[in-house]
Each structure stands twice: as structure tokens, then as C-alpha cells.
Structure 1
Amino acid sequence: MLIYFDYAATTPMSEHALTIYVKAAKNAFGNSSSLHDVGDISARTLTASRKVIANIINGYEKGIYFTSGGSEANIVAVQSLLNGIQNNKHIITTATEHSSLHTFFKMLELKGYHVTYLHPNHQGVITPDQVQHALQKDTALVSIQHGNSEIGTINPIEDISLLLREKKIIFHSDCVQTFGKIPIDAKHIDAISISGHKIYGPKGVGAAYINPSVLWHPLIPGTTHESGFRPGTVDVPAIAAFATAASDISLEQKLLYDHFVSLRNQLIELLAPYHDKISVINTRFPHTLPNIIPLLFKGIEGQYVMLEANRFGMAISTGSACQVGMQAPSRSILAIGYNEQQAKQYVRISLGKDTTSTHIEKLSKVLINIVENFRK
């Protein structure tokens, strides 16, 4: 049986979330927009779930819009916000955003928007000063991720938000990787995106939050579901399971954070004697998610390391699952100063609540074995 080290890509559903999903599928199967009693059960389940998510992010209940996942939350939130902004055509984002937003911003450029892609500093972070210097008279929106999925760096989104609020510029942040890992205070941000399957909830469900004071217009006019935010019958059982997983992980957040720090330190220590062959990219970055550990294997492509690790019973990755198969080096690794050859030597280890010290010890032995056998 494989030992799983790819929790940043997706997590297994928790038993509690599964139980609630089955219960909701049996009892809250009605269309939440239907006016009869069966629909009312679903509507009340939906309302309760909305309250749970809003409380966790310190947001307003009526600002929560459920989606089919983080990618849809990103795209629909940004486009809906842009729809509410007239004339201004400048957008600021980063070179390290998730592929859902990176490709979407590239498409917006073809539609007449001018997009500035900020590169992180030497610590992998986007600073408020960088945002300040990139602002233009016609800046419509800024979208900067909270936590990076490939190198784990955390951006100071509250500080950036304060800067933008003074200038009355809309700010969106992709919080998919940080939701459930570190605190998020949506009161300081105009819009955020989150997902269920990163926190032991179901796939195919996420949410966008837009502060009710912020103007937006629907992606598709005339849409009725989720207050016009998106079309399609709402998946109430999945949303109930998402809210359950979110509630559970928020209670465990501090304990899990400390758990990840301990495991991360253990892996770094075990690999230290081989630092000339295996380097941990973000050990000098002070603001990082401890559950994401990016490695570079000197002279060995990450794809080879991943396949060999899989052969020895370890499931690791070569970066964001949404970019695997594109045959391109990690944009995040390139953005922090590595060249293309080095970026192709990148491997990501990501930890979960079921990861143990024994798992880390076994992983280190496999990685060291791969390096030593490759040299031979």
C-alpha cells in the first residue's frame, strides 16, 4: 500500500464528512430552490452550511456562494467582480498563481485587459510595496494567492488588502491552499476562493466569498441559483459534507499546524547529510505552510524521482496536479530565481493529518536510496 504524500493535491474524505454526505443525500435530496417541504429541507441545510463557512472565515453569510470547486470559485469570482467595474482595464496578479487563474488572466489579455504579473521576492513573497509600485490609474482589480501550492509561501494578504482598501481597488485572494491550515479573516479582503477536497471534504465543491458591500454582476445574466452567482442545481449533500469537513479542520487547525512543523523539521534533518544532492527550497523562507515541502534533486529530474518513489510505495508529486502533463517546469520555481533545468528537478512533498513520523523516516530512506542508486 502506498504511503501518501500528496495532500496539497487532494485529501481523502473524512469519515465524518462521508457520514454527513450520506445522511444529507438521503434526507436533503430535494432541489433547494423548490418551494415544497422537501426543497425546504435542502434549503435549510444549505443555509446552515453557509453559516458554518462564513463563521470560519469571519465573513458574512450572504457573501458565501457555493461552487463546483476552487477553480470555478476563482474564475467566476474574478469575472463577476470585473463585471461590476466599468472602464478600468488593468489587473495585478502574480506569476505564481494557480493555473486556473493564470490561464484565465491570459485569456482576459486577449479581451483587452492589461495584466501585470508580479514576481515574488527572494523569500518567495509578494510584498505590499510591489503592489503599490504596480498600481496604475486604471487598476480595476488585484488577485494575489494567500498560499502557494508548490513552494508553500504565504503572502501578507491582510497588509495588501489595507493598501488597496485605501485606494478603493478590489482585492481577491485564492485561499484554497491556506483554508483550514492557517487563519483567514475575510473581513479584510473583498473576495476569496476556497475548496472542499483540500480539507478532507468531497471533490466537486468549493465556495467563493464576496463581501456584500462589494459590487459584482453575474457571469451569466438571469442565473437564479446561489443568488445569481452561478447556474446549476446546488449539490446540497456535497456542501453539507464540505461544511462538516471545514468545521472539523478548523477545530484541529493549531494542533495540525504544530504536527506539520514537527514532521517537516524531521524530514529536513534526515535529508541534511545529503544537502548537496537534495535541497529543501524554502527552509530560509520565514512565511511558509509547513505541510508543503519543496525539494530539488541535483542532476535528477523530478519526474524520475516521483516514478521511482511510487515504485517504492511513496506517492509524491512534481507540483500542482492541475499542471501535471503540461511538460513545463514549475512557474513558482522559476519565479523565485531558479532556471528551467533546476525547475525540472523539483519534487513536492505535502503532509496530511494521517502522516506520521514513521512515514517521514521511510520517505527519507527512499529518497536517499533513489539519489544513491541514480549516481551509481
Structure 2
Amino acid sequence: MRPVSERFLRTIRGSHQAVFEARVVAPGQTGVEPTGTTIPIASGDVHIDGSAQIRSTLEMTTLGQGMWPTRADDLLAPYGNEVHVRRGIRYGNGTTEWVSLGYHRLYTPEQDRAPDGPIRLSARDRMSGIIDGRLPAARAFPASTTRGAMLSALITEIHPWATIEWDDAAVRDGPIGRQIVAEQDRYAACDELVTAAGKSWWWDHRGVLVVRTPADAASSVWDVNHGQGGVLVSLSRRLTREGVYNAVVATGEGADTAAPVRAMAVDSGTQSPTRWGGSFGRVPKFYSSPFITTYSQAWAAAHAMLAKELGLPYSADFTAVPNPALEPGDPIRVSYPGRAETHIIDRMTVPLTVGGPLAASTREQTAVLIGSV
């Protein structure tokens, strides 16, 4: 969950004044208070999906009078400018506590009623630049190149100002282990490097590219409850085994090895509904990467991939009073008459106007244990 005060979390549960801001900024800034030009918000929301290549997308409508871009350097021209959005609470003493919802590169301004009708803006987070920025020629990285150096080289060619944060210096500074050739798809090369290291990566609310192991989901960070002082508006739920697996087999592929390293992580929790070898069955997923050169690397990749998926058969969609500090991957406690469950947020939509609820999709986090076979 993004950092907020206890006062913020208490105030959300009662009557409060929500405030919103959209600011067009030059590319390359970081932090939660960039400099730029504030534009009015007529409507809109930020959609955040923890499993998507582009984690955060912005759709909003602003006033159109005199704002339609006619030159490349105009404010709303989709040639590099970003929109930083935030949502907050204005307290009774006049102070405001803001929560940043991130930086979004302008992609499409649209106006149905020219010349002065409202302008709809579509924008995407900074990963869109990495996806767009395909490599014009193949690039070889020697085996001695560190993971951090390879990722930085591929990222800073597109975003020279990028700040990259790894949560593990040993992983960042370890060598890739064999010569790697990055082909046309820049994003795919970066994603494989990070995934093979057992990490996830995204541009966070500060405009920083973070490379992290998913946080432990043992305890909830927010209660989504009904009744007095509650925030739950509506809840629907479903069970499905479609697309669910309970093991990951990770191998290291490469022309330099006759017998690639291999590791297999399985759901071995005795109380897990998807236990490997239990009534759910045996449903493995396979992953291979040239970045995997040791058993420990294969195990880390398999473990991380499986950990992100466990609990998926039971999922829920809910709407609630918005808490903009929540993020995909956050564990929350969902309670309704007769039942309370711990869920992990997979994706969510944060409204940029008063009256709209937060909408989220989750999966239940069951008590699991990941073992090897």
C-alpha cells in the first residue's frame, strides 16, 4: 500500500472531502509532487492491473476551450508530455493529504465537438515507452554483464532519466551467466531478465522503475467491510479452475549446456484447495529462459511465478469507498455477513471524481506452502 497517514485511513471510513488533481508535466520527473500545468478534471479514472504489461492506464476528460493541441509542443500533444494524477483528502483545518496515482504518457487526445468541446485523454504509464521502443538491431550482452547493467542499458536508451530500484543488490549485481542476444522486442528481453531472477517490475506511483520480490501476503493492509464504519458497497464472487496451475517447472535453456538446469515448485500446502497431487489434480506450467544458469536461479523463478498465482480458483469483484493508497498485490480482508476472507488485489480502478466507487478484482489468499519436487 502506498504511504499514507493513519488519519487518512480513518477519515476514509466516514464523511470526507475528496480532492483530485491532474498535472501535465515534462517527461523525466520523479516523486509525488512534480512541476507542471494543472488541468481541470471533468471525469475519469485510473485503472491499475498487476498482471498487465502496462500496469497503470489513465482515461480522463478535461475542458476543451483553447486546449486542443495544434503544435507539437502544445500541452496536450502526445509527443512526450505526461499526466501526473493524484487523489487526496482535504481535512477540516484546510490541509490536504495527497496520494499519487502515477505518471502517464499522453497517447490520444480526442474531441467530439470541435473546437471547444471536452477533450478525452488516454495515457499509459512509462512501461509503454519500453514496449514501443523496439530494438532496431539485435544486441549481444556478454556473460559477465550484470543484471542491473543490462536492464539499465535497455531502459535508459528510451528513458535516459530513469531511476531503477532493485530490492536485492546481490541479484542486481550478479552476472547474467551466458551471452544473451536481445532481439527486436526490448520489453520482452527486460521482462525475461527480471522474471528469471524471481522478481516483478513496474513503474510505481513515484515514477520509479522498481524490481522486487512480491511482498508477503500474510497479513491484510486494509479492511473492506460492511456495516457501520464499513466501506464495502457491493460484492460478487466466482470459482473457476480455468487457467489455474499448481506447479511451475523452470529450466535454463542455452546452446552452451547439454543438460539444462531444472527446478519445480509445487503447491504443497495440506490445506490448499489446489494442492499438488490432491483432488485438484496436477496442472504444471512450464517456463524456460537463457538467463537461468543455476539450480538456485531456476528455483527462485519457479517459486516466484507460482507464488503470484496461488489462491486463484476463488476470486471476487467488489466496489467500495475509494482508498487510493491500495495497489495490486496488496492483501486485504474482505468481510460480509457470515464470512471474512483474506484476498489479494489483482486489479483495481480508482475514480477521479466524487461519487464513483473503487472497483477491484481479487483472489482469495489461502494458507499455502510451496515445496519442490
TM-score by length of 1: 0.24
TM-score by length of 2: 0.24
Is the radius of gyration larger for structure 1 or structure 2?
A: 2
Higher strand share: 2
Higher helix share: 1
